[in-house]
Structure 1
Amino acid sequence: MPDHPHRRRRRTLLAGAFAITVLIGLLGGSAFAGEAADPALPANDAARGMIYNGLRVDRTGPCAGMFQVKGVTPVMCTHGPDTPPVGLSVKRRIQPLAAAPAAAASALAVCEGDGTSGRRVEVLYIHGSTSRYQQYLETFRSLAEGVDVIFNESARETGGERHVRYVTETVNGACRPVVRDVQIADSALNANDWAPLLNAVKAAGYTRTDRKYLQFVDANVYCGIGGFAGDTRKTDANRSNSGPEYARADNGCWSAGVAAHELGHTLGAVNNNAPNASGAAHCVDEWDVMCYKDGPNVVIQTKCTDRAHDNRLDCNHDDYYHTNPAAGSYLANNFNVADNLFLIKGPGGGNPQPNPNKALAAAASASYTSSWESVAAINDGAEPAQSNDTVNPRWGTWPNTGEQWALLTWSAAQTLTSAEVYFFDDNGGVRVPASWKLQSWNGSAYVDVAGASGYPVALNQYNRVTFTSVSTTRLRVLLQSGAGSVGLLEVKAL
């Protein structure tokens, strides 16, 4: 199988976290329904596939801080369009590969089950009245297999094995990805808006909740664009573990690198709370399939100097892809693409270590909870973006002041040595506490944990406390209010 290197993207238009923040500020609280175009979106650059028609910036809901694709149900979120890698052009077609002789046909290294059951990535060739299916069939199979190589070779760097669980068939005795031939109207195929194509593909029946659809589109509109959930939760219920979800590469960018990049978005890369996140679903530590300068204020750092890693996932494996992350690391506590249920997990480091955050298994209660808030927020696993988090659930006690508490209770004793607390502060009625401490239940009373390292009250970050090891069924966060009522976004018990 020939090599399809993924070269560097360079985006110069408004994009990324800075741009989205500006757009949200410009939009304020206005409604989106029914508008012809959003004047606050970046300008289109058709020559480079940067098409923002049909997108809107969301302030709240599942697409908060990202774009939503208008006119598509259910709600579909995306990071937005990607620019072409060096050497590719939106307006110049990739030439087809020659069909390999039967004896030399390539194949997927690992296939699973009957080829159709369960969560799978399904490859679609989408065209209008002109079909090049037979001409490009070998190309699409090989590119999909190249994506699998990228995912598995990246897993091997962490001592594990991962393969894309494709919908497969046997071709000349070899297991290969199925490529569906999907014809839609020319108007939908060539629309300067992803929604008409998505709706046409959905109307053709590609709507399964156990599918990620990898779209090779015979058009010259985008280089690539993909759905992105932006869900950081360390759970099988993470939205990146479900479908239908769609990744698109147009014919000028038919390459394994672009396909792996867009599929990577649908599988959960790169969450904006990752250590090297750009803020727009990419990373900033090169070289890496998912990294590039996607906004004017984004600063790129070269942390993996081998340019060959531009065709691999997760430089240093600390942002979104590691088959066996260390306890306490970011990927041990947040969603990890290597755990995505659309991937086949092999032996050798294939099972991630248990999540050290024991708060996730506790029942939460509190001294008081405002009627519009939820005490369950303190251990739901949602990672806050800031202390004034307006997206995830919060626990708050307004208008009550004075001493307040939030409690984690387990059915069996847990051995704990540290905890991390993220304060809710809306710069209004709910503020960081004047003081706080941790208490454990000794069987008859709550007592302060011994050897506490200190109780910081910093905004926009976890406040970590270490203490002498204790075995307990309850851990209480006791807070004294200061300038207002108190609240918490998340508590981790480690």
Structure 2
Amino acid sequence: MPRKRTTRLVVAAVAALGLAVTGAFMGTASAGESSAGLPKNDAAKGLVYDGLQRRAAGPCGAGLLEVKGTSPIMCTHGPDAAPAGLSVKTPVPALAGSTAKAAATVQSLAVCEGDGTSGRRVEVLYIHGSTSRYTQYLETFRTLAEGVDTIFNESAKETGGERHVRYVTETVNGACRPVVRDVKIADSALNANDWAPLLNAVKAAGYNRTDRKYLQFVDANVYCGIGGLAGDTRKSDANRSNTGPEYARADNGCWSAGVAAHELGHTLGAVNNNAPNASGYGHCTDEWDVMCYKDGDNVVIRTVCTNRSHDDRLDCNHDDYYHTNPPAGSYLAQYYNVADNLFLIKGGGSNPPPQDSNLARSATASASYTSAWESVAAINDGIDPPSSNDTVNPRWGTWPNSGQQWAELTWSSNQTLKRAQVYLFDDNQGIDVPSSWKLQYWTGSAYADVPGASGYPVTANAYITVTFTQVSTARLRVVLQSNGTSSVGLLEVKAFAS
């Protein structure tokens, strides 16, 4: 059964009007497969696979689909179904008061750049057939595009940086707003159960520049959303996600900032299938997150960011596809990072991460012993436990071993550490809180107790915070002494630079 979701808006102007913007979807794969090896169509959910094909080789060979009949070759992760609160077959109404006169009172883009047209830019298109609602929806499209920008920048702020979508812009009543192009195509191309006819018609109308990503608001009821995805993991300006033309599509049942941000996110390079929490189908598995959801029958979703307000933000733990200043040795420091995309306006990317940035998330966990049914990777998975007897999330335990046990975090390079938080495991069934514990660091030749530790209380059902004199180390170890014959364990360890 589809989960219930909140549909919190990203900008106050939209929130007051009650328009859903949530960006995570309910699943792309229908039951069974067609003779072409693709999921069967489910038109009610916007899951239309006609016109797509699998290729073992070529640019779309790494788990992506190819849009047949387009040139140059275009890759995609496939269609996305509508999130809760939206329906592919029920058009979204225009924002209340969405008229040219009302445009004078709505918000503008927070940041604009240059002359509004030169260089790599995202261009917003309203695509329709013989019936046009351009005047009625113009202000809606501008506002939704600005909502997308809010999602990208608020997410960047979480990593100490600033990012804005570099739109094609114009001045409206003294404010910088996204341009919305009025694009008329044949009804047959607009309503085809195949993206290629629409793409080819839009290209023929001149929207085929290599320095453009095109955000398409399509006045049709075929898809909820679908977007191009290069699947290029190279950490380079030459990454294919940094070029166009590329297209992100949202049909009229899913005209929302969240859907638009999701599909635009694909065109900017999210989520590559080698990311730490990749679903394998262009998304991620650690909710809550604009790009994460259960997109296949065998995909398991973990609730890592427990605050559902992050459902309209990018990259829950900023370790899969979006971080303005990724830690050295982390996945995003080595592979493609959407925050580096050349279609974004960069600012603050050299700033240090926020003071509460958890460095443990980029480390590899190991232990003296781990019970066969437990996982040492649990200690830095980013999941905040509800209690010391957490029966839902992964845990590290040493039963039946007792005595002194340890678990440690190892980084690929030295980290500056000054504070740590530890959450003890106690299941009342053989694993108890330890009689004592301490933190050690690797000096380069041996382990030593961290200097100046503030103390090691033994507390259940809460994080224990320990501050200490700053150290530079590639390993941080938690050493636990069991209480009698009981075993010990940990639910989470966090490490901080300040």
5 Å matches for 1:457-476? none
Following TM superposition, by how much is the alpha carbon of 1:286 offset from its aligned partner in structure 2, in angstroms? 0.2
Paired position in structure 1 for 2:290: 289
Residue equivalent to 1:10: 26
Residue in 1 aligned with 2:187? 186
Q: Residue 347 and residue 13 in structure 1: after superposition, are their counterparts in 2 closer, same or farther (change >3 A)?
A: closer
**SS of 2:317 mapped into structure 1:** helix
Post-superposition CA distance 1:241-300 (Å, at most 9, x none): 000000000000000000000000000000000000000110000000000000000000
Question: 1:349 Cα deviation (Å)?
Answer: 3.5
Question: SS of the residue aligned with 1:215?
Answer: strand
Offset at 1:58? 1.2
Alignment of 1:284-363 (within 5 A): 284-347=285-348, 349=350
CA distance in 2: counterparts of 1:88 and 1:101, whole angstroms: 25
Q: Report the AA paired with residue 93 of structure 1.
A: P
Offset, 1:8? 4.3
The amino acid that maps onto 1:110 is V
Letter in 2 for 1:142: T
1:84 counterpart = 2:82: yes
Q: Structure 1, residues 308-328: CA drift from partner, whole Å, max 9, x if none?
A: 100000001000000000010
Q: Quote how far apart the aligned CAs of 1:13 are.
A: 2.7
In 2: Cα distance, 1:41 partner to 1:329 partner: 34
Give the RMSD, CA atoms, in angstroms: 2.1
Q: How does 1:395-414 map to 2 (within 5 A)?
A: none
**Contact map agreement 1:71 1:195 (CA 8 A) in 2:** yes
Q: For residues 94-142 of structure 1, what are the alpha-carbon distances to aligned partners after superposition, in whole Å with 9 as ceiling and x for unaligned?
A: 0001236354221000000000000000000000000000000000000
Cα distance, 1:149 vs structure 2: 0.1
Cα distance in 2 for residues equivalent to 1:173 and 1:52: 44
Contact 2:30 2:42 in 1 (8 A): no
Whether the 8 Å CA contact 1:158–1:349 is kept in 2: the answer is no
Q: Residue type of the partner of 1:6?
A: T
**Secondary structure at the residue paired with 1:264?**
helix
Aligned residue in 1 for 2:43? 46
Equivalents in 1 of 2:275, 2:54: separation in Å?
21
- Please give the alpha-carbon distance, in whole angstroms, between the structure 1 residues aligned to 2:163 and 2:282: 22
Question: 1:38 deviation in Å?
Answer: 5.4
The alpha carbon displacement at 1:39 in A equals: 3.1
Provide the C-alpha distance between the structure 2 equivalents of 1:318 and 1:143, rounded to a whole number of angstroms. 27
User: Structure 1's 163 and 350: CA in aligned 2 closer, same or farther, altered over 3 A?
Assistant: farther
Retained in 2: the 8 A contact 1:161–1:349? Answer: no
Q: TM-score, normalised by structure 2?
A: 0.65
Partners of 1:125 and 1:38 in 2: how far apart? 34
Q: Is the aligned partner of 1:196 residue 2:212?
A: no
**Residue pair 1:124, 1:213 contacting (<8 A) in 2 also:** yes
Contact 1:44 1:50 in 2 (8 A): yes
Cα distance in 2 between the residues matched to 1:187 and 1:140:
24
Determine the C-alpha separation between the residues in 2 that align with 1:141 and 1:9: 23
Contact 1:286 / 1:300 at 8 angstroms: preserved in 2?
Answer: yes
State whether residues 27 and 294 of structure 2, in contact with CA within 8 Å, keep that contact through their aligned partners in structure 1. yes
Q: 2:65 aligns with which of 52, 64, 67?
A: 67
Secondary structure, in 3 states, of the residue corresponding to 1:50?
A: coil
Q: Secondary structure at the match of 1:315?
A: coil
Aligned to 1:372: none
Tell me what 1:58 maps to.
55
The residue number in structure 1 matching 2:464 is none
**1:427 aligned residue:** none
Query: Letter of the aligned partner of 2:25 in structure 1?
Result: R
**Is the 8 Å Cα contact of residues 323 and 351 (structure 1) preserved in structure 2?**
no
- Contact 2:156-2:162 within 8 A present in 1 as well: yes
Which aligned pairs between 1:197-212 and structure 2 lie closer than 5 A? 197-212=198-213
CA shift in 2, pair 1:162/1:7, >3 Å: closer
Structure 1 regions of 5+ residues with no counterpart? Answer: 24-36, 353-416, 419-450, 452-494
More deviation in 200-209 or 102-111?
Answer: 102-111
Structure 1 segment 130-145 matched on structure 2, within 5 A: 130-145=131-146
TM-score of the superposed pair, with normalisation by structure 1: 0.66
**Which residue identity is paired with 1:138?**
E
The equivalent of 1:437 in structure 2 is: none
